[in-house]
Amino acid sequence: MAKTIVVKQIGSPIRRPEKQRQTLIGLGLNKMHKTRELEDTPAVRGMVAKIPHMVEIIEEKG
């Protein structure tokens, strides 16, 4: 079983740089308070670290 993390969008992409919007889309988030369970990889952790004001890690599994 692979490690996973649950990520929740807590910030709006309105008036944010395009790169930050694309990072949200890359994580599969596009609406406020939406959650996604993603594989815990360095790439995903890096994307979350780029936009800490817009997402939060709710839970780590595995």
pLDDT for 62 equals: 87
Q: How far apart are CA 36 and CA 41, in angstroms?
A: 14
What pTM value is reported for the model?
A: 0.92
42-50 and 18-26 helices cross at what angle (nearest 10)? Answer: 140
For residue range 29-50, what is the model confidence (pLDDT) as tens digits? Answer: 999 999 999 999 999 999 999 9
Q: Which residue has the tokens 């994307």?
A: 47
Q: How far apart are CA 28 and CA 23, in angstroms?
A: 9
- Band of the pLDDT at 1, cuts 50, 70, 90? low
Q: Are 35 and 7 in contact (CB under 8 A)?
A: yes
Whether pLDDT at 25 is above 80:
yes
Q: What is the mean pLDDT of residues 2-29?
A: 97
